[in-house]
Structures are given as C-alpha cells and as structure tokens.
Structure 1
Amino acid sequence: MDFSRFDFAMVRAATNDFSNGNKLGGGGFGSVYKGQLPNGQEIAVKRLANGAKQGQVEFKNEIVLLARLQHKNLVRLLGFCLEGEERLLVYEFVPNASLDHFIFDPIKRMFLNWEARYKIILGIVEGLVYLHQDSQLRIIHHDLKAGNVLLDCEMNPKIADFGLARLFLVDQSRGNTKRIGGTIGYMPPEYVQYGQFSVKTDVFSFGVLVLEIVSGRKNNGSEEHLISNAWKKWRQGKASRLIDQTLNGGSESEKMRCIHIGLLCVQENVAKRPTMASVALMLNSFSMSLSLPSKPAFLIQSSVVASTALPEKFPSRVTSSDQSLEHTSPDQSLEFSVNPSVNIEDSITLPR
C-alpha cells in the first residue's frame, strides 16, 4: 500500500492540537482539520469521533479503497493513524474547499464562469468513469454530491469521501443493501425505497449535480424541487430559464446540452439512465445525438424519511447538508433476485 502510517503526536502537532482555527468542517464521521507536516506539506486530517460505529466502517472503507485508487480527479489519501481510540485519515490538502461553497453562494458562484463549471463537470465524469470501469476495482461512490467534490488551486475537481463506497465484483451489475446511507436529494428512489444500487446510483447523483452546477440551485433546497422544476421547464420548452442568471460567458448550446444530459441521468427508469462512459461521449462529441429524456424520479426531501420502507432492523444513515438523520424502518420482508455486493466492512482487517 503506497501510503504511510502516521504518528499521532505528529498529526496533533501539525493541526495545532486539532484547534478550532484549523477546523475545515465536520459531519457524522467527525471533524476535518487543516495541518502542515514538518517538511512543509499541507494536509487535511479527518478525525473519527470517539465511539462512532458508522465512522469505523467508513474509516476502513476509505483506507482499503483509496489505497488502490489513483486518479487526478480523486482526492489522494496520504496515510492513516491508529493509536488508542484515535482514528485519523490524512489526505492531500485541496485549497479551494468543496464545490457547494461556490455554486450555492450568491457571491462566490459569480467567480465560477461557464468555462470553469464545464471543466468541473468534465473532471467529475472522468473520475466516475475511472471508478466504474477503468480502475483495478469496480467502485460505486454512493454519496456523490457538491459537498464531496473538492476544488484544487486551479479549480480542478477531486471526488472525496469514500466512506459509503461499495466494491463490486467484476461480473456484477447491481446489488442490494440493508444499510441505507447517503444524502437527501442525491439518492435515487430505487435505493432509498428498496436498497437496490448499481453504477446507475452514481449516475443519478451525477445528474442532480449537473443540474445544480448549471442552475446554481440545490436540489434539496427550500425552493421548488430542482428536478421537478427542470422537468417542467423542459416539457414547456423553457429549459434555458433554468440556467443560473449570474453565469457569465460560455456556449448556450453547452449549457442546454448539460441540462439535457442531467435529465437523462435522473430518469425514473434505471435502465434508461446512461452509463458514465456514455455521458463522457455525450459531453465530448457534440455530433452525437441525444435521446429524449423520460419522466425523472421525484424524491421530495420532506417525505423521504417518512415514506421510506427499508429492510427490517437495519439503521440507515441519511444526511442532508444541515443534519444527520438516524432511523430504523418498520418490519418489512423484501426479496431480491440479485446477488449481494461485496460488503467491504465485513471483509477487511486493518493493519496492526
């Protein structure tokens, strides 16, 4: 494994004892801090909250997966620390924070012109194509969202947070899970309601993300549901009204093509959603004609948790940008004809 096992004292010193001044953010896993190693290298440190069982699973996932994944559009894991109750993951520091800090901010999003946004879309596509078919593993990210796309000093995207990622067998196309985890607004209904997932789960999330990038609006925001609004405007022949009014420059046809692709990715019919390899071709070849999108999958935030029926007695971790929701579903018996995916949290042993 091409990464290091860090000494806790070194990481603590690098982050100024995990001071609030060095804190970059946090979530259900714990907190993330900026640090600087003795050699001057800047790092980002994810610190697992003590006693967070879900965080332990995510910690293992990230070590096992990121140690074997190398791509310019994936955040790079430098190493980890295991000492007593401490669980730390050490990453390369990505200076421009995450995409959501830009596209949903009324001031900062004006700094992202269309050229920059289109480059971000292309980079995310390249990262997902690598995960789905070009890497030595076959990975479903499972939590693709604006908050998990980091931007480097040249505003190149890097997909981050592989705590919920799933490892697939080479000949496996889909699977099911009893542990539902993800972010409201980015999860397709077949996953939320039935635990069914595939590479098309990431495709759906990507479609939502593209619509957010073009419009500058959150899919799970307080305004009208973004997917619903995009579909309505598309049916009315007014899709151009979805484009962010602060967006300067760029090709109108590129923006409209991205809206078209976004709607293809969020179609309710899983089989009709394109693969990420097909999306790459659509974005790189304007001579390629696009099929008409069918009805998208509507998943309204206010009704997600109340109406979701999950396999019995398994907790779900559903997050939004503002909160984490933990719940256990009512008893229900579900049967699937597909083989389950490799459950990585049950099959790995951390180095001592």
Structure 2
Amino acid sequence: MKKKYLNAMVLMTGMLASSGSVVHAGLFDFLAPKASWQNCNVNSCTVGGSTNVTSSYAKTKYPILLAHGMAGFSAVGPLQYWNGITEDLVGNGANVFVAQQASFNSSEVRGEQLLLQTKQVLAITGAQKVNLIGHSHGSQSVRYVASLLPDKIASVTAVGGPTKGSEVADVVDSVVKSPVGPALAPIIAAGVNAFFSLVGIGSGHYYDQDALAGLNSLTTRGSANFNQRFPAAVPTTACGSGAELVNGVRYYSWSGTSPFTNALDPLDYALTATSLLIPSENDGLVPRCSSHLGTVIRDNYAFNHLDEVNQILGLVGFLQNPVTPYRTQANRLKNQGL
C-alpha cells in the first residue's frame, strides 16, 4: 500500500509539473529535486543558488546565459539583477548561467567579456550551443557574441535592448560635449566608475569601468556604428522586425512602454522623467521601435526598463509579472529544439 501511495504521489507531481505552472506543487515539493544556477565572470562560474524543479516547461536543449545591462551585475549578496527570473527558469527545468560584465564600458569590451563566459558555459556543460538573453546594453553583448561565434549560439533574445540607440543617451552625450562638459564629465564619470567597480567586486569580480564609453555605445550614432559591424537581425525599416534566422542563430526581442508602473518604486519617478526625452513610446530609457530585433514577440508590455528584469525587488505594475515572458520564451526555444 505504501508503494502504491508513493507512486500515486509521484504521478500527481509529474502531472502538475507537465502543466508548466510556476506555482510549486506545495505539498509535493518534498518530492521535487533541487537544481542550481551559476553566476559567472571572466574567470569562473560558481553556484548562485538553488530551487526545487517542479516542471520541465522551460527545459531547453541548450543552457541559457543571461547578460545584464548598463549599471548591472549578476548578484550582490541577496540582490539579483534577474530578480526571481533565474529561480523560475531553473524551477521549470532550465540550465541557467548568469554573466557578469563591466557595469559600464563599450559594447565591444562588454561583448568580449561575455564571449569568454560563453566559452566557459560551453566547457562546463559540454553543450554544443548556448541560448543568450540580454537586457538593455546586454542586448548588444549577446549580439556581439553571436556574430563572432554563430556556430555555438542557438538563439539571441534582446529584452528592452536599444538596438538603434536612445535619445536619453543622446541628450546626456550632448551635455558631456557642451561647454561645461569637459569640466564636469570626467569628475562625474570617475565617481560612477569607482562606485561600479565596488559593485563588481561585490558581485564577484573587479572590472575596469568606463562610463563615457558605455554612454557613447548607446547613442543613436554609436548604435548605428555598432549595427554596421554587427547587422544580424537588425530591422531595415524604422519600426519593423528583423530576420529571425541569421547564420543559424534565431533572434527575438520584447520590451515595454510604461515608464511609471508602481508609486512605491522610487526609480519609476526617474524613468518617468527620462521618458520625456524620448518623443515616441518608450520604457523610460529605450524607444519602443528601437527595441526591435529579429522576431518581435511583443513591444508594448506594461513594463518600464527596470520592470523588464522584475526590479526593483518586484515593485512592478498591478497584475504584471515580468518573469512570465522569460519562462514563455524558454518554452518557445524548447519547442524549437533549442
């Protein structure tokens, strides 16, 4: 009888898991195996945390490597850049690695850092390919790696990526180049670089920071230059989609258009202010059309730029769940054999 009862419990747990639900099976969690994700830098990858695996809904064939954006990190203490996203993907069967790059630097420097970590993931897992997901400036990093290593990349997904740059960066760049810029810009940049060097150390690795190089990469001019050298999946029209399949790599994107979503989130007020610098719909930092890359899954989620990675600490819009698009995307990749 005990054996039959246990078999029934296992069967029920499997049925719950196969539904793709993110809600843990509760009573059946004790039967679920645990799995971990890993936080990486250019030298190594180490366990970042673990969770119960209750589903195979997001179990892609190839591992997933997440690349953060400007001012980002992998994890500092309990604070994760990909808040709740890593746990959800791992809990639904994905093999997840979290990259750490310089918080501020050029697209090329950050891309080289991600390239080294991509090779680490391939070596650690023995996988033939990797699925890359990049948020914000991380979208240029994943594009850089895919261009240099197309035979090892299964897919690229850009989340809130400034494919064609941002007017916010243009305005800041114009201030830097104004008459007061040469006096103030180096001082401000030095402060930013010093602070985010400490963030990098807290996240597990010291990186040289270059705030001005990062800024230049995200201007419309800097992004256009990057696109000339790395044109894969970039739309040829102002607000169209790009090619989904380029050199064997599948490209996708999604983004939001709601700068203010939660009155309790102090950064929503800043994003609302910066959104006024952009004449079209945007997420507070990136124009809706600029976020397009490859197949556009959706470009008008009720998210702002930080909501797109479930920050700050999940203070997002009412009834909005930014974790869901990542899980859905992993399932999409899984169904395509990626």
TM-score (norm 2): 0.31
Bigger fraction of residues in helix: 2
Q: TM-score, normalised by structure 1?
A: 0.30
